[in-house]
Amino acid sequence: MDELEGKVAVVTGGGSGMGRGMARAFTRAGMRVVVAEIDEGSLDAAVAELTAAGHEAVGVRTDVSKLADVEALAEAAMDHFGAVHVLCNNAGVCTFATIDKMSIEEWEWTLGIDLWGPIYGVKVFKPLIEATGTGHINSTSSVAGLIAGGAVAPYNVAKHGVVALMCTLERELRSAHSPVRSSVLCPGAVNTPIGRNSVRSKRAMQGRDADADADGAIATGREAEKLNDSLGDALAQGMDPDDVGEMVLQAIRDDQFWILTNPGLAKQQHHQVAAMLEDRSLSRLRMF
């Protein structure tokens, strides 16, 4: 996209972390932003920050795992701004446990937000964006969408699915000579509250008090607690979410498909492919 001034962006999970970083980057570029977020406190704070800085922004409480909510988000964006040019499917959660200890409920909850959220977003917003004659659809995956580590099976499956979704979409857009482009964000460690937000989101879904629980991704047992600590340490040392927002903005401007915050981690795909071709084995992996 050559000109972003005045264009409208919708960002899910925009109340904190990378989503908030995207919203800041977009508004600094002169865009108008619709912040979609399930947590009302984060939503209100993000919109208040953006509007106080003189930018045009509105908030819509959205559960991306529900098609009706995503449809309502699109309707709200059209009612307020009259068009949508950019969509960032960014909302996400993470659950820690080995496969044998992962409940079906946790599988459904994670896949509902991390995979069905982007699927619903593409389905609902693609025709609206194409109608403007220009636009971009971005979805947040992860390095875990390129190579799968242990103890986060639902997250790995969802994020691999997001990569497949966006690769398919980009090829279909180009084949149809669509004016819309797409990209996939595959971050490594970023200093975000995904663990704390995951706890709050799951407890709210279950009708429990999130504040009664310790911060961190959903986890039980000593092994999961160690993984939780490793994740927290890695994220605390990770990239600033505002820097990620700027990377997404630049990718939209330059029509770049792959957005990698840590290309070194992504290179582990080379080792996996090499092992596959050499002796059909699975390469070793250390994420944190």
Task: Give just the sign of the alpha carbon dihedral 57, 59, 63, 66.
Answer: negative
The DSSP bridge pattern shows strands 86-89 and 8-12 to be parallel
Question: Residue 22: in which H helix or E strand, if any?
Answer: helix 17-28
Which tokens go with 184? 């996939």
Specify which residues 260 forms β-bridges with.
186
Round to whole Å and give the CA distance between 69 and 62: 6
Residue 6: closest CA among 36, 29, 34, 35? 29
Q: How many Cα atoms occupy the beta-carbon half-sphere of 142 within 13 Å? A: 26
Left, alpha or beta for 207 (phi > 0: left; psi -120 to 50: alpha)?
A: left
**What residue type is 248 in one-letter code?**
V
The DSSP bridge pattern shows strands 32-37 and 135-140 to be unpaired
Q: Which are the catalytic amino acids?
A: 155
Round to whole Å and give the CA distance between 30 and 183: 21
